[in-house]
């Protein structure tokens, strides 16, 4: 079972792209369905099983997520609700005999079961948003600054190549509020590495997120920002490095270990030297603000 492979030590963040077995995308595959009977029963059954697996994963005490993941999942729930409403209105009416031609009720029953499972999964996600963990006492100001740093590096280096999934579509089709979900997950993971005793992990199926996690710490941990980033250098880059698990049918550990720190990380060819200097300058300002936030000055 997938649940048995999930780390039991430390907090594990759940990304919405993590899928246990289902390789297709439910919302995308049902988008053009014009009737209940046109729905693929095997797809409906598979989605029911998938949603139950996700809910069981969320029920584990060390599994948490962030509000943006919950909000994106709510988009799936809204799609299901709207699909049921639309298809229910499309039942064919014979005006002469006033007889309603019933469609395949079995398909509708399965779709309503998907709706029920999706609602329960959404409620479970909502209850496990990381800010609601009473033991963590997250400093919102510090986390917000860390998010700004991750977004800054991500945007300047163009680290997201739309390899992730949002209901089967690339990142450019995500709703406006969901476009920085990957950065927020990475920032939250780095924050937990800095302020939580046990190594945190993230469970994802998104290549963009893994790319962020592989590059961003090298910039945030640059010795150039010492001493403002000394906690980061001691924890994230060395003794408490976060772990990333890729979930796409099986769970595989794809990232764990220390980060090699330099005064200046290697300059990607896609980033002009002037823009790089501006980015590093802005990172320095953010690290200074981060240090102040820990001392209660922000």
Helix H, strand E, coil C: the string for the chain is: CHHHHCCCCCCEEECCCCECCCCCCHHHHHCCCCCHHHCCHHHHHHHHHHHHHHHHHHCCCCEEECHHHHHHHHHHHHHHHHHHHHHHHCCCEECCCCEECCCCHHHHHHHHHHHHHHHHHHHHHHHCEHHHCCCCCCCHHHHHHHHHHHHHHHHHHCCCCCCCCECCECHHHCCHHHCCHHHHHHHHHHHHHHHCCCCCEEEECCHHHHHHHHHHHHHHCCHHHCCCCHHHHHHHHHHCCCEEEEEECCEEEEECCCCCCCCCCCCCCCCCHHHHHHHHHHHHHHHHHHHHHHCCCC
Per-residue pLDDT for 292 more than 70?
yes
Percent of the chain topping pLDDT 90: 46
If you average pLDDT over residues 158-177, what whole number do you get?
Answer: 52
If you average pLDDT over residues 187-205, what whole number do you get?
Answer: 93
Higher-confidence position of 96 and 257: 257
Indicate the range of 17-21, 189-193, 235-239, 273-277 predicted with least confidence.
Answer: 17-21
**101/98 Cα distance (integer angstroms):** 10
Burial class (CB in 10 A: 0-12, 13-18, 19+), 99: exposed
**167/46 Cα distance (integer angstroms):** 15
Tens digits of per-residue pLDDT, 33-74? 888 888 888 889 989 998 998 999 999 999 999 999 999 999
Tens digits of per-residue pLDDT, 218-272? 999 998 899 999 999 999 988 888 999 887 666 677 766 555 555 555 555 556 6
CB 199 within 8 A of CB 56: no
Q: Which residues contact 98 (CB under 8 A, 6 or more apart)?
A: none
Tens digits of per-residue pLDDT, 123-133? 999 999 999 99
- Range with top average pLDDT, 32-36, 94-98, 192-196: 192-196
CB 64 within 8 A of CB 130: yes
Per-residue pLDDT for 168 more than 50?
no
Per-residue pLDDT for 145 more than 50?
yes
Question: pLDDT-derived band of residue 14, with 50, 70 and 90 as boundaries?
Answer: very high
Q: What's the mean pLDDT when you consider all of the chain?
A: 82
Indicate the range of 8-12, 23-27, 130-134, 165-169 predicted with least confidence.
Answer: 165-169
Q: What is the pTM of this model?
A: 0.85
pLDDT of residue 4: 66
Tens digits of per-residue pLDDT, 68-79? 999 999 999 999
pLDDT of residue 24: 60
pLDDT of residue 289: 96
């Amino acid at each position: 079972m997938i649940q048995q492979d999930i780390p039991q030590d430390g907090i594990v963040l759940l990304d919405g792209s993590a899928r246990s077995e289902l390789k297709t995308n439910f919302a995308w595959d049902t988008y053009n369905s014009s009737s209940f009977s046109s729905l693929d029963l095997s797809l409906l059954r598979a989605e029911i099983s998938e949603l139950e697996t996700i809910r069981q994963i969320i029920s584990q005490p060390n599994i948490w997520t962030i509000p943006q993941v919950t909000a994106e999942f709510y988009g799936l729930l809204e799609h299901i609700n709207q699909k049921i409403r639309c298809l229910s209105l499309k039942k064919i009416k014979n005006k002469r005999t006033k007889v309603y031609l019933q469609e395949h009720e079995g398909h509708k029953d399965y779709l309503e079961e998907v709706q029920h499972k999706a609602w329960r999964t959404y409620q479970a996600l909502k209850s496990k948003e990381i800010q609601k963990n009473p033991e963590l006492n997250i400093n919102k100001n510090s986390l917000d600054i860390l998010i700004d740093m991750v977004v800054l590096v991500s945007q300047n280096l163009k680290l997201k190549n739309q390899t992730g999934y949002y209901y089967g579509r690339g990142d450019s089709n995500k709703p406006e509020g969901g476009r920085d979900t990957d950065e927020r997950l990475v920032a939250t993971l780095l924050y937990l590495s800095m302020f939580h005793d046990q190594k945190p992990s993230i469970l994802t199926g998104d290549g963009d997120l893994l790319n962020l996690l592989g590059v961003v710490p090298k910039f945030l941990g640059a010795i150039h920002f010492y001493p403002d980033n000394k906690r980061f250098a001691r924890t994230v880059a060395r003794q408490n490095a976060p772990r990333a698990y890729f979930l796409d049918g099986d769970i595989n550990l794809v990232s764990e270990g220390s980060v090699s720190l330099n005064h200046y990380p290697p300059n990607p060819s896609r980033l002009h030297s002037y823009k790089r200097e501006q980015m590093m300058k802005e990172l320095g300002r953010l690290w200074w603000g981060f240090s102040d936030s820990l001392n209660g000055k922000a």
